[in-house]
């Protein structure tokens, strides 16, 4: 998904309209306040902002503010920590982007809104499965993971 974003190939409503796809509205399905561009959906949408705020709190990192999607993909480099922590944060950032996109699709195609709490829950769940299935972290527990995802370092 991040690769498609860098090629400007994510089918946001604005991108679909640019490709002459007839859609009734280009407004963001999560917040309904602005046109749905990639940068809006992942950085300035009120739902995404709440997700990133909760993500930062959960990972015990400074508040996250993004201006463009590419800023999201660089966040792990700004965290002053060891390489293992950087890799885990980067993986969780990718999972977070995927969960925001999945929630957007759920809203568009099923007409069911997802709350930031639901999105964070899915991020924790998918992140836990991803880290737990890595050979060196198979001992982690769900309870500790939910409190702080880097506790095992």
Contact at 8 Å (CB) between 24 and 10? no
pTM of the model: 0.92
Confidence of residue 3 (pLDDT cuts 50, 70, 90): low
pLDDT on residue 6 = 64
Give, to the nearest 10 degrees, the angle between helix 69-78 and helix 83-110. 150
Domain positions in the chain: 2-147
Closest CA to 103 of 44, 21, 28: 28
Q: Mean pLDDT of all residues in the chain?
A: 90
Confidence of residue 25 (pLDDT cuts 50, 70, 90): very high
Confidence of residue 7 (pLDDT cuts 50, 70, 90): low
3-class SS letters over 45-75: CHHHHHHHHHHHHHHCCCCCCCCCHHHHHHH
Establish how many alpha carbons lie within 13 A of residue 3's alpha carbon, considering only the half-sphere containing its beta carbon.
Answer: 0
pLDDT on residue 91 = 93
- The C-alpha atoms of residue 82 and residue 79 are separated, in whole angstroms, by 9
pLDDT, tens only, 46-84: 999 999 999 999 999 888 888 888 889 888 777 777 888
- The C-alpha atoms of residue 31 and residue 152 are separated, in whole angstroms, by 36
């Amino acid at each position: 998904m991040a690769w498609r974003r860098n090629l400007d190939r994510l089918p946001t409503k604005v991108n679909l309209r640019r490709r002459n796809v007839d859609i009734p509205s280009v407004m963001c399905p999560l917040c309904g306040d602005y046109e749905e561009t990639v940068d809006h959906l992942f950085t300035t949408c009120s739902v995404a902002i709440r997700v990133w705020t909760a993500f930062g709190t959960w990972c015990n990192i400074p508040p996250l503010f993004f201006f463009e999607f590419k800023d999201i993909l660089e966040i792990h480099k700004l965290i002053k920590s060891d390489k293992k922590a950087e890799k885990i944060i980067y993986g969780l950032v990718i999972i977070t982007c995927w969960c925001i996109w999945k929630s957007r699709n759920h809203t568009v195609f099923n007409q069911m809104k997802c709350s930031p709490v639901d999105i964070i829950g899915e991020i924790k769940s998918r992140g836990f499965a991803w880290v737990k299935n890595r050979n060196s972290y198979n001992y982690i527990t769900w309870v500790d993971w939910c409190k702080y995802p880097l506790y095992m370092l």
